[in-house]
Structure 1
Amino acid sequence: MSRNRTMRTLVLWCAFLLVHVLVAVAGWLYPSQPMGDVVLVYEPWSSAALSGGPIVGVTETWVYPQLALVPMLLAKILSVPLIAAMGVSEAYLIAWAVLVIVLDAIAFSVLIGRSPSQPRRAAAWFWVAALLLLGPIALYRIDAITVPIAVVAGLWLTRRPAVAAALLTIGAWIKIWPGALLLAAVVAARSRMRILLTAAVVTASIIALLFLFGADVEIFGFLTEQTGRGLQIEAVAATPFLWLAAVGSARIEYSFEILTFQIAADGADAVGAVLTPLMAVLVIVITVIGALKATRGAAFPRLFPPLALSLVATLIVLNKVGSPQFQTWLIAPVLLWLVLDRTRATAPALIVLALCALTCLVYPLNYDALLRAEILPVAILTLRNVLLVVVLVIGIRALVRVPAHRPSTNRE
């Protein structure tokens, strides 16, 4: 039995490493520059900061929270020994891939340990499959840094709540979405005050450090920068306008300010304007439902996963942006759901895997055709966006159905 468990663990690690190598190499082979952000944006930002130039988020307003610059700088430092042999771009890409793989490996080791249970093995296979189906976008974006942070934090929420809260707070200061898991933890966990206090201390420390570096109005620039965005073509709410573009009644235009393709059509700006308020309202409603369940004694393993998934899905479905890397946000809450309550997590896990595959078919494989508003990629993207809404509905439905009283035999 022990030998069988060891072999299963070894097979998991082999699959994990093989998939990461395949996905990393695919970034060099796939069309539409799936690694473009890393070399065209992250590397110049890190080079400027290290060479005495402008520091994004500190000396100038930035679209990301400030800690997003840290992994970019780490990749730049790691790339230095490789530059002479490969050139700046290639060295930075390899360094970035290595950084992400190392972080994923740390989280994977926390997930499976030496002898993983069946739910943890299922969660591990889910993660491996999601990476394979989503493709290079799962590695070559800043979002890839936050996924392992969120996975480790979620696994440690009940045993190391302060450390978990610190990790989720740091993750939110890299890319906002881990804040949804932090909010779910504050609502669902019995150690909510410790989690809330830790998050407040970490946030205050980060803000104080930014002040010391000279930032002031730039500190929350990542929030104000989002207000200028139009409706991106891959956003869920942009789906009807894409079909209008397919028949010539709308246009797809490139925004040089935001560096994304956006919809130009009557009503698009109005739709984009209401999405953020709607997102805020739905987040509040979902949080209130979760809080009511928690106050009535709902068990953490039943309450936290659907609450976390519902909040994360809300951030995607009601977002003016629909970037393909957003699908990585769904990996952590579904993985944690598989660990805590595998039976009820099966359906959302399968749907998220389908979302990953459909997203890869859109970007990078058929992105040029999508920009021409051809029917096939528009139809694939429509199916992807419909499934995102389905995930949100499944999460909310599961949240509403969480039993209000904790069974006496259940432990957090």
Structure 2
Amino acid sequence: MRRVALWVAFAAAHVWAITLGWLWPNQPMGDTYLVYEPWAVSALSGGEVMGVDASWVYPPLALAPMILAKTLVWFSSYSLAWAVLVAVCDALAFAVLLGRGSSRPRRLAAGYWTVFLALLGPIAIFRIDAISVPLALVGLVLAARRPAIAGALIGAATWIKVWPAAIVAALVIALRRRVRVVWGGLAVSLAIAGVIVAAGGSANLLSFIAEQGGRGLQIEAVAATPFLFGFGGAAVEYSHEILTFQVVGAGTDAISAALTPVMAFVVLLICLLGAWRVRAGAPIVRVLPPLALALVAALIVTNKVGSPQFQSWLVVPILLWIVWDRRRAVGPAALVLVIAMLTHIVYPIVYQRVLETQTPALLVLAARNFAVVGLLVWAVAALWSARAQERSSTLVG
């Protein structure tokens, strides 16, 4: 596909996803005008600054894009301003990914991202995760040749939404120049922390960790699947404190409490597996993509939250895998597209039926959750099978 055609398709995918935000039920844009805009207005008007003056569910840098969208004064709609901001960030990352357009693997990856966005729909645009994805993607694409820049970009993304820390871990394990990644991320982290502390927010700098720990078992979480089908007499309830639907019943509190240590254990095992393959001499092209995907998938599978936008994280390691080793990326890449499509159906299309625990809608959600588990297994198997004698002459496609 020609470079111009790819750009046109990428723009069309954004227009499609943004338009569906206005058309689909269940408020797919709700977070932007119900949550992000009030937080931005409060900060700009001298009121409470989330993450500085008050504890917050997000890392403090997440407020920056929310405020930036509010300053785009030529838009009467905050949701539209947010969508344009996301589209601009995606376009910059798309330009880095595509490069000059002379590399077939890069063109394939660019086309894949376009399809992924179209399948995932408005949830790929109207959530704070949509800002962290292009930052993490650019960092991962540049990591082999610009590790310090990669560390800085992914470090910044982590201070917006925590999940890119999985990418950092993969880079530290797989790259020889891992120290530069660490220094890049540390420099950004110190700068952000310094600003927050200087603004008087030292007490709330890491409040997002405690806020996440206090959450219950959200209905879209993988571990919530059996409870939605009636296990333990569970029911769906809305939490006004964290503005989300959770399952409540016999065993849900225990499962919710267990998931955080389970996540830590699973992530540790995957990191040890990745370090073992690196120590055995497996090439970076065989280690880094499945390692990054396995860590990101593990954060989703073992998460007590399970919000639909979490699936947008999966595209970052998949795109690198396509660029570096597209033959082995075919299977997991296809599965991620299925996950995106099923997620779009669950939210926002049949979300109300999920809340009403109607069986057909629950089956779609269950299929999505099983697919994510399958993706995790696939990525771990690919990492396990990496061998020292299989080397590649290129890191960029």
TM (norm. structure 1) is 0.94
Amino acid at match of 2:59: P
**Where does residue 126 of structure 1 map in the other structure?**
112
User: Structure 2 matches for 1:380-391, cutoff 5 A?
Assistant: 380-391=364-375
Cα offset for 1:405?
Answer: 5.0
- Report the equivalent of 1:81: 74
Quote how far apart the aligned CAs of 1:404 are: 3.2
Gaps of 5+ in 2: none
1:18 offset after TM fit, Å? 0.8
Asked whether 1:410 is paired with 2:393, we answer yes
Q: Equivalent residues in 2 for 1:260-339 (5 A)?
A: 260-339=244-323
Given that residues 17 and 121 in structure 2 are in contact (C-alpha distance below 8 angstroms), is that contact kept between their aligned partners in structure 1?
yes
Match of 2:50 among 50, 56, 59: 56
Call closer, same or farther: CA 1:343–1:188 in 2, change over 3 Å.
same
Q: C-alpha displacement at 1:295, in angstroms?
A: 2.2
Distance apart, 1:240 and its partner CA: 0.3
Corresponding residue for 2:180? Answer: 194
- Find the counterpart in structure 2 of residue 367 from structure 1: 351
**Deviation sequence 1:335-384 (CA, Å, 0-9, x none):** 11101110111111110000011011111000111110000110000000
Could you tell me whether the CA contact under 8 Å between 1:299 and 1:410 is conserved in 2? no
Extract structure 1 runs of 4+ deviating beyond 4 A.
none
Structure 1 residue 135 displacement after superposition: 0.6
Determine helix, strand or coil for the equivalent of 1:341: helix
Q: For residue 111 of structure 1, report the CA deviation from its aligned partner.
A: 1.1
Mapped to 2, the partners of 1:22 and 1:338 lie a distance apart of 24
Q: Deviations over 1:19-57 (max 9, x none)?
A: 111111110000000000000000000000000000000
Q: Distance in 1 between matches of 2:140 and 2:187?
A: 19
Residue of structure 1 in register with 2:206 after alignment: 220
Q: Distance in 2 between matches of 1:377 and 1:116?
A: 43
SS in 1 for 2:203: coil
Does structure 2 retain, via aligned residues, the 8 Å contact 1:296–1:405? no
Q: Does 1:154 align with 2:154?
A: no
Partner of 2:229: helix, strand, or coil?
helix
* Counterpart residue identity of residue 114, structure 1: R
- Structure 2 length-normalised TM: 0.97
C-alpha distance in structure 2 between counterparts of 1:231 and 1:404, whole Å = 41
Question: What's the RMSD between the two structures over aligned residues?
Answer: 1.3
- Following superposition, the deviation at residue 406 of structure 1 comes to 6.3
2:29–2:126 contact (8 Å) kept in structure 1: yes
Equivalent residue for 2:222, pick from 236, 245, 250: 236
Contact kept in structure 1, 2:150 and 2:184, CA below 8 Å: no
Of the candidates 51, 67, 72, which is equivalent to residue 61 of structure 2?
Answer: 67
Q: Is residue 348 of structure 1 aligned with residue 341 of structure 2?
A: no
Alpha-carbon distance between aligned partners in 1 of 2:368 and 2:251, rounded to the nearest angstrom: 23
Q: Which runs of 5+ in 1 are unaligned?
A: 1-6, 84-90
* Equivalent residue number for residue 362 of structure 2: 378
Identity of aligned residues (%): 51
The question of 1:46 aligning with 2:40 is answered yes
Structure 2 equivalent of residue 8 of structure 1 = 2
Number of equivalenced pairs: 395
CA contact (8 A) 2:233 2:250 kept: no
